[in-house]
Structure 1
Amino acid sequence: MVLGTSSDAGGGRSRTLRSRRSLLRASTGLGAAAVVGGALTGCSRRSSGATRVRLWSWLTGMDQYVAAFNATRRDIHVELSVIAAGTSGGYAQQTNAIRAHNAPDILHVEYQALPQIVTTGGLRELTDDVADLADGFLPAAWRSVRPDGRTWALPMDFCPMAFFYRKDLFDDAGIRVPRTWEEFRRAATAVRRADAGARIATFPLNDGAFFAGMAWQAGNPWWRISSDAWRVGIDGAGTLRMADYWQDMIASGRVAHTATGTQSWISAMHHGRLWGMLGATWGVGMVKKSLPADKGRWAIAPMPSWGDTSATGVWGGSAFGVSAESEAPEAALTFLRWLSTDPAVPRIGAKVTFPSPAHLPGRQVARKAYDDDYFVGDPVFDVLDDAATRVPEWTWGPTSLSVFSTTADVLAPVATGGITIPGAVRKLQTSTVDGMRERGLAVTRGSRT
């Protein structure tokens, strides 16, 4: 069952939601502070007649969103502080501010970080205040802000995964775009046959979020809330199948295993040493910005699937929550409603990046506003809109961020043969369970079926 949905009925659902809520509360001594009578309350800070709302974020274009909002309001003034990206220091800064009781009114919380921030007691529950918005978002995005059946943030963007490829090179070599991972294996062999120095893509061993996204596609949730405990199943059948596949692909030399986003990676993409990229929605803007001379060469396709199972994982996406101690919660939520649902936002986003709203009407606005003149082949919005509807159930755990770091550590020896990817997955399962128990969380091991 997906966390936060209403698929259960009657008393069973009530007991399940109560246990999930108590589980998250039990993770912190501050959890009770996050609920204030089921509705937003608080004192307001006013500056020059307007209620001042403090926002911390690292999102590209946020300065322009804030400026547009402030230009239309006299009663609310949002003040943006740009902070380091989440795992580069942003989450540590926010967590420290929560503990010191000086957090801003609005916190930037990616989906994978939400349960961890919730357990600090640093977010207000928004369930009653935003219930009217539920049907307007991608279901997978809405589920992602409701880890325990309550709403803790509003989604802004959502990043399903996809396969980016050099259409010119594929066409010249007569290689069909792979639709399944078995076809991907054959295509990878064909790429090497066409150019011994080229690879179809890289499978980066240094990115835990990427690895989790690939496991997500395999239909194997790493965490579930079961009764009064976290069930951890990182070494489940789906992840191990994925791990076996990529172990063979790397060991056989069919794919590279270098990091993405570096100058050498960009050079390899431009010069045809890498014919593709396993990426996500944000890759549209990144490829266009990093490889401006390659206009008309790149195309985007659905992520290859596991047999007949048409699914894709997610790699990235942002949500924003209201601080538990905000003195202007109503004003903060007014801005968040605007940021998540107003058509002005994707129009602005189309000028600074590739917009991928979690809000369904916003996706239609983004499609019309974005100048899709770089990629060839199928329209990027057709591919990504379809991918966004094929996201399996998934629950992030309360230690997701540290697991990302550990994933990169345990995968590093794969490059030199020091460990296999399946072996690293089993090691990650053990370390995750041990780490959660050290934090005092109730944990059970997931089934491998």
Structure 2
Amino acid sequence: MVFGTSSDAGGGSSRTLRSRRSLLRAASGLGVAALAGGTLTGCSQSSSGATRVRLWSWLTGMDQYVAAFNASQRDVHVELSVIAAGTSGGYAQQTNAIRAHNAPDILHTEYQALPQIVTTGGLRDLTDDVADLADGFLPAAWRSVRPDGRTWAVPMDFCPMAFFHRKDLFDKAGVQVPRTWEEFAEAAAAVRRTDPRARITTFPLNDGAFFAGMAWQAGDPWWRVAGDSWQVGIDTKGTMGMAGYWQDLVSSGKVAHTPTADQSWISSLHQGRLWGMLGATWGVGVMKRSLPTAKGKWAVTTLPTWGDKAVNGAFGGSAFAVAAQSEVPEAALTFLRWLSTDPAVPRIGAKVTFPSPAYLPSRKVAREAYKNEFFAGEPLFDVFDRAATRVPDWTWGPTSLSVFSSIADVLAPVPTGGTTIPRALHTLQSSTVATMRERGLAVRNGGRA
């Protein structure tokens, strides 16, 4: 059974849940029992007598959220330590702290990294603690914090993907904004005919998280659970179809393949040489910061679809877990419930970023609080609310982060013809299976390689 599907919501049999947890923990060989003797260092009370909760996070605006929470009551006092973003060192720092028995009470994790952190045995099982919240979240976000049918974190935000485009340039050239990927390929050719220097977008070959988001839309989760084994299927039908499509566009020069968000990319946007970006909700802030003089030129729509099937991928989003070592789990959960569900949070978020809460009532608050003065076209929350409901089931495995890194390596030769995107996926499939087996996991090769 696939991790995180709605059929897991009821918990399943205890034997099944135990076997799934063992699959996760076997990746590191470190279970909760190995950590039971560890305790947090330092006093659990602040100078005011409130219960002290330590939080590590890199989330934009977290300092303001913490300040608002601390000002709202006297029983719990959260102390924030800002750490590097997850793949820039934050995950290693948290994992090392778990192993050293000095983890903070609350840890920050993106959805794709959660199974890997669960393998440390260092997270508190929150299944019973937050069961009452389940129906309040976007289904895809809630499934993402339940990799083995148990709840290991509380969702904060969720980032469905979208197509950001220069509405003014599309309108002027008479090019229809594509609704399907077939129309997208036609639009890509039309953009190049209009301006030989211009491209409809870039397909960044160095970004594993982006590539996974595009594969998510195409279907076929890369990891599944088959009995007591992981089934790995990266080079299966959905992902391979998506890969072949983009290989044609890259090799024909109809799309660029340069990284997103570097200086060359920003320059191309300023000069009108890139008419679009495949991104997610965080792209609202990226565009506003990168193109402050482009007000009214850009619009956002849901991703083009494969045929008439209305499915969307996701690219990012955060959740927060409680350390198994924490001496103050109830106080930590008091903050996490506030962070994920209190209407003050999206109102604060609307001032510092584009809020994309995972909690459904907070999405309504965010819609009212955020003032869009940059984008033309359809209202942003109409687009992203529709996209969020289209995100299907997906499984993240215990080696997701290393796979992201490997994607950049195996796709690096694509621009020079050293390989193709489909061939690179066969290589990735083989290396992923081998790596998981080296870590002592039972693995079935479910790919086509």
Same fold per superposition (TM over 0.5): yes
Q: Equivalents in 2 of 1:167, 1:34: separation in Å?
A: 56
CA contact (8 A) 1:298 1:376 kept: yes
Q: Equivalents in 2 of 1:94, 1:229: separation in Å?
A: 27
User: 2:266 maps to which residue?
Assistant: 266
**Residues 364 and 116 (structure 1 numbering): CA distance in 2 closer, same or farther, change over 3 Å?**
same
Summarize deviations over 1:270-304 as a string: whole Å, max 9, x none.
21000000000110111112111000000001101
The CA deviation at 1:30 is 3.1
User: 1:247 maps to which residue?
Assistant: 247
Q: Which amino acid aligns with 1:236?
A: T
Q: Which amino acid aligns with 1:21?
A: R
Q: Equivalents in 1 of 2:12, 2:296: separation in Å?
A: 55
Summarize deviations over 1:186-222 as a string: whole Å, max 9, x none.
0000000000000000000000000000000001200
CA contact (8 A) 1:169 1:275 kept: yes
Q: Equivalents in 1 of 2:153, 2:301: separation in Å?
A: 31
Q: Provide the secondary structure at the position in 2 that maps to 1:292.
A: coil
The CA deviation at 1:29 is 3.8
Structure 2 spans left out of the alignment, 5+ residues: 37-41
Q: Provide the secondary structure at the position in 2 that maps to 1:285.
A: helix
Q: Which amino acid aligns with 1:47?
A: S
User: 1:122 maps to which residue?
Assistant: 122
Q: Equivalents in 2 of 1:90, 1:11: separation in Å?
A: 31
Alignment of 1:8-87 (within 5 A): 15-33=15-33, 45-48=44-47, 49-87=49-87
User: 1:142 maps to which residue?
Assistant: 142
Q: Which amino acid aligns with 1:203?
A: F
Q: Provide the secondary structure at the position in 1 that maps to 2:55.
A: strand
Summarize deviations over 1:167-190 as a string: whole Å, max 9, x none.
000000000010110100000000
The CA deviation at 1:25 is 3.3
The CA deviation at 1:309 is 1.5
User: 2:368 maps to which residue?
Assistant: 368
**Residues 4 and 198 (structure 1 numbering): CA distance in 2 closer, same or farther, change over 3 Å?**
closer
User: 2:93 maps to which residue?
Assistant: 93
Q: Equivalents in 1 of 2:300, 2:6: separation in Å?
A: 35
CA contact (8 A) 1:163 1:301 kept: yes
CA contact (8 A) 2:259 2:265 kept: yes
Q: Equivalents in 1 of 2:31, 2:342: separation in Å?
A: 31
User: 2:199 maps to which residue?
Assistant: 199
User: 2:353 maps to which residue?
Assistant: 353
Q: Equivalents in 2 of 1:208, 1:125: separation in Å?
A: 29
* Identical amino acids, percent of aligned pairs: 78
Q: Which amino acid aligns with 1:322?
A: V
Alignment of 1:264-343 (within 5 A): 264-343=264-343
The CA deviation at 1:371 is 0.5
Count of equivalent residues = 445
The CA deviation at 1:447 is 4.8
Q: Equivalents in 2 of 1:139, 1:219: separation in Å?
A: 17
User: 2:395 maps to which residue?
Assistant: 395
CA contact (8 A) 2:4 2:393 kept: no
CA contact (8 A) 2:35 2:325 kept: no
The CA deviation at 1:7 is 2.6
Q: Provide the secondary structure at the position in 2 that maps to 1:374.
A: coil
Summarize deviations over 1:76-127 as a string: whole Å, max 9, x none.
1111111111001111111111111111111001000000000011111000
The CA deviation at 1:15 is 4.5
Residue 186 of structure 2 is aligned to residue 186 of structure 1:
yes
Q: Equivalents in 1 of 2:432, 2:365: separation in Å?
A: 41
**Residues 143 and 170 (structure 1 numbering): CA distance in 2 closer, same or farther, change over 3 Å?**
same
Q: Provide the secondary structure at the position in 2 that maps to 1:361.
A: helix
Q: Equivalents in 1 of 2:420, 2:239: separation in Å?
A: 13
CA contact (8 A) 1:44 1:328 kept: no
Residue 34 of structure 2 is aligned to residue 7 of structure 1:
no
The CA deviation at 1:12 is 7.3
Q: Which amino acid aligns with 1:353?
A: T
Residue 104 of structure 2 is aligned to residue 104 of structure 1:
yes
Q: 272-281 or 9-18: which moved more?
A: 9-18
CA contact (8 A) 2:28 2:439 kept: no
TM-score by length of 1: 0.96
Residue 371 of structure 2 is aligned to residue 380 of structure 1:
no
Q: Which amino acid aligns with 2:384?
A: L
CA contact (8 A) 2:181 2:305 kept: yes
Q: Provide the secondary structure at the position in 2 that maps to 1:319.
A: strand
Pairwise CA RMSD: 2.0
Q: Equivalents in 1 of 2:157, 2:188: separation in Å?
A: 32
The CA deviation at 1:23 is 1.7
Residue 431 of structure 2 is aligned to residue 416 of structure 1:
no
Q: 1-10 or 219-228: which moved more?
A: 1-10
The CA deviation at 1:2 is 4.5
Structure 1 spans left out of the alignment, 5+ residues: 37-42
User: 2:152 maps to which residue?
Assistant: 152
